[in-house]
Amino acid sequence: MRIDAGRVTGVLWSCLAMLLVTSGSTARGPRVPIAAEPASPAAPSDELALARDLRIRVRNGCELELVLRPSTRQAWTTLARTYTSQPKSAAGALARLDGHEAAEPGRDVAIPFDLLNDDYRALVLLNQFPLDRLEGDVFVHVARAGRLVTPDEGLWQVAEWFTGDGGKFREIARADGLGSPDLSQGQVVHVPAALLHRSLLSGPSSDDGALSYGQDDGGPFAGYRLKAGEALYSAVVVRFTGRTDPDDVNAVAAELAVRSGIPDVTDIPIGFKVRIPFELLEPEYLPKDQPRRRENEAAKREMADELARQPVRAADRRLDGVLVVIDPGHGGRDVGTMSHGLTEHDGVYDVACRLKVQLERETAARVFMTLEDPGTGFRPSEGDRLESNRMGTLRTDPPFSAREEGESSVAVNLRWYLANSVLRKAVRNGTTPDRVVFLSLHADSRHPSLRGLMVYVPGQRFRRGIHGETGGDYLRFKEVREAPTIRFTRRDLVRSEAVSRRLATRLVDAFRREDLPVQPYHPVRDRVIRGRKTWLPAVLRGNAVPAKVLVEMVNLNNPQDAALLGSAQDRERLARGLASALASYFGDAQSGSARAAVSSP
């Protein structure tokens, strides 16, 4: 444990510091203090709450400590491993300071600032001194302007807090031209960055500055400091790792909590650094020298080059010559997600019918629906109430409806066989492939904190050059017998992802124009992530239509999103958003840069 000299206050240290500063002064002369920004009034209390059972406290006018209240009995070694930099020695020190054999539930435990590990040191300083900041090669500290009153704060304390060694106050004074270790309220102190404690040095950072990169015993990680109002689930797990499945989000949040030393994922202090292992990060958040980041950027350049070489040809405003293949997800015994009194298939089928009506009424586009309900046909519902649809039948030859267990997987593959057959027929009749689009409409079951549109595109890395299904279950269908297997060149795969991303971005833009919710992080995705596995939805893998997307219009696990699908008026808005995206995709095909077209929103 470090000697307690850093905590000695009063005249003795002030006099000694004055002598040292005077003897070590330089020819540079004193720097005139810069007027600080007006500080918020200091809190009347001597404690600042960081979380439910975590506080900062000031003692003796200038000593900072972290105060926690355990919910269960904890050994000092356990507590020290979470909060301190030297757990073995700190455990003994905490036991001596507390006077008990263990940390007891409901009783405060105070940890002196100089025992804290890097994450908690930074957490205390960032919360206590919100006006402080790094400016170039100096760290700017505004004296006695913290959220807690520190009336006895002097240059020694500043050195102790920000460099880890109170004895470095003389170096700060010399560099800043200060003639006295005494500080007045609002006085600005400039601490050379070279003297800063490592906890305040962020190191290399991501392109947007949101992440800082580091290494610990668990390997390389990216650190993110939580902001006010942010939760670990959405602000970190969904944003940086791409997980959306409820079980996945919760599992990764628990993993990050262990890695980061977070006792309670529902009560994380503002400014706490969450550590995200590199292997969980989406490629764009990795450092530029990482192979997955380089591979991702190379793929984007390749797609941009493809669109520049062969742009999507624009159509007239009425979409004359355009063929839209609409695929209402699920059907038959497979109803999809069930939540908040709704079934996925019933809702998306009604949106599909509304989209069909809008396109045929307002444009010259041709529409083909992959599935039909024999009872209602393609007629939209007349009100909010949705018809329970268990008879949905794929329009293959012969027609097919999933009635038995295990037939749903057959139905999924038949959809892309059917789409390929429709494409071949359209091409024979003079339609170019770039005039055909495929929309598979769904409503998924993401983490309930998430809302809005999410679109899957056919990521080239997750497709094979040859694709097909075998067996009697498939060969009895005309569409399969026409072409049991489909072959793709590398350029086919690259172009398909490029034009599909372009369509997906138009969907995102259109939903925002219609004031429909869009998932805030990565609304366009090139694969599904479940646990440690990734894959592409089957309806996209073997599909030969170049521009194809699987559209998760809403998240049925979210009550607000579910209400959208339960309202006839909002289902009409969803269909209008889809139609608007198609008009934009074909209407402005020649505008905008190719690189922007393949960049995710």
Q: Which residue segment(s) compose the domain that 235 sits in?
A: 212-285
What token pair was written down for 372?
């039909």
Domain holding 431: CATH number? 3.40.630.40
What token pair was written down for 316?
């007239």
Q: Is the pLDDT of residue 22 over 50?
A: no
Residue 60 confidence (pLDDT): 92
Q: Is the pLDDT of residue 518 over 80?
A: yes
- The verdict on residue 103 lying in a domain is no
281 and 299 together in one domain: no
Instruction: Calculate the CA 438 to chain-centre distance.
Output: 28
Instruction: Calculate the CA 267 to chain-centre distance.
Output: 19
- The verdict on residue 582 lying in a domain is yes
Q: Is the pLDDT of residue 593 over 60?
A: no
β-strand 63-68 against 54-59: which pairing, if any?
antiparallel
Distance CA 220, CA 203 (A): 13
155 and 172 together in one domain: yes
Say how many C-beta atoms besides its own lie within 10 A of residue 545's C-beta. Answer: 25
> Which of 285, 312, 336 finishes a domain?
285
Q: Is the pLDDT of residue 38 over 60?
A: no
Q: Kindly indicate the confidence band of residue 406, based on its pLDDT and cuts at 50, 70 and 90.
A: low
Helices 490-513 and 568-587: angle between axes, nearest 10 degrees: 130
Residue 78 confidence (pLDDT): 94
- The verdict on residue 402 lying in a domain is yes
Count of domains in the chain? 3
280 and 309 together in one domain: no
Looking at the DSSP bridge assignments, the partners of residue 342 are 339
248 and 365 together in one domain: no
Mean pLDDT, residues 93-122: 95
271 and 299 together in one domain: no
- The verdict on residue 115 lying in a domain is yes
Its pTM stands at 0.83
Distance CA 520, CA 504 (A): 14
- Start-to-end Cα distance in the chain: 51
- The verdict on residue 329 lying in a domain is yes
> Which of 195, 223, 249 finishes a domain?
195
- The verdict on residue 173 lying in a domain is yes
Q: Where is pLDDT greater, at 331 or 97?
A: 97
Residues 43-65 pLDDT 10s: 435 799 999 999 999 999 999 99
Supply the mean pLDDT for the chain.
89
What token pair was written down for 225?
């400091």
400 and 508 together in one domain: yes
> Which of 225, 251, 285 finishes a domain?
285
What token pair was written down for 594?
């190719």
Buried b (16+ CB within 10 A) or exposed e, 584-595: bbbbebeeeebe
Mean pLDDT, residues 252-280: 94
371 and 406 together in one domain: yes
Q: Kindly indicate the confidence band of residue 598, based on its pLDDT and cuts at 50, 70 and 90.
A: low
Q: Is the pLDDT of residue 206 over 60?
A: yes
Q: Up-side HSE of residue 85: CA atoms within 13 Å toward CB?
A: 17
Residue 40 confidence (pLDDT): 42
125 and 39 together in one domain: yes
Residues 420-479 pLDDT 10s: 999 999 999 999 999 999 999 999 999 999 999 999 999 999 999 999 987 778 999 999
Residues 417-436 pLDDT 10s: 999 999 999 999 999 999 99
452 and 535 together in one domain: yes
185 and 229 together in one domain: no
- The verdict on residue 128 lying in a domain is yes
- The verdict on residue 337 lying in a domain is yes
Residue 386 confidence (pLDDT): 87
Q: Which run of H or E residues covers position 552?
A: strand 547-555
Q: Is the pLDDT of residue 84 over 80?
A: yes
| SS3 of 202-247 | CCCECCCCCCEEEEECCEEEEEEECCCCCCHHHHHHHHHHCCCCHH
Q: Is the pLDDT of residue 294 over 50?
A: yes
Question: Is the peptide bond preceding residue 398 cis, with omega within 30 degrees of 0?
Answer: yes
Q: Is the pLDDT of residue 345 over 80?
A: yes
Distance CA 332, CA 408 (A): 8
299 and 354 together in one domain: yes
Residues 377-405 pLDDT 10s: 999 999 999 877 778 899 999 999 877 76
389 and 429 together in one domain: yes
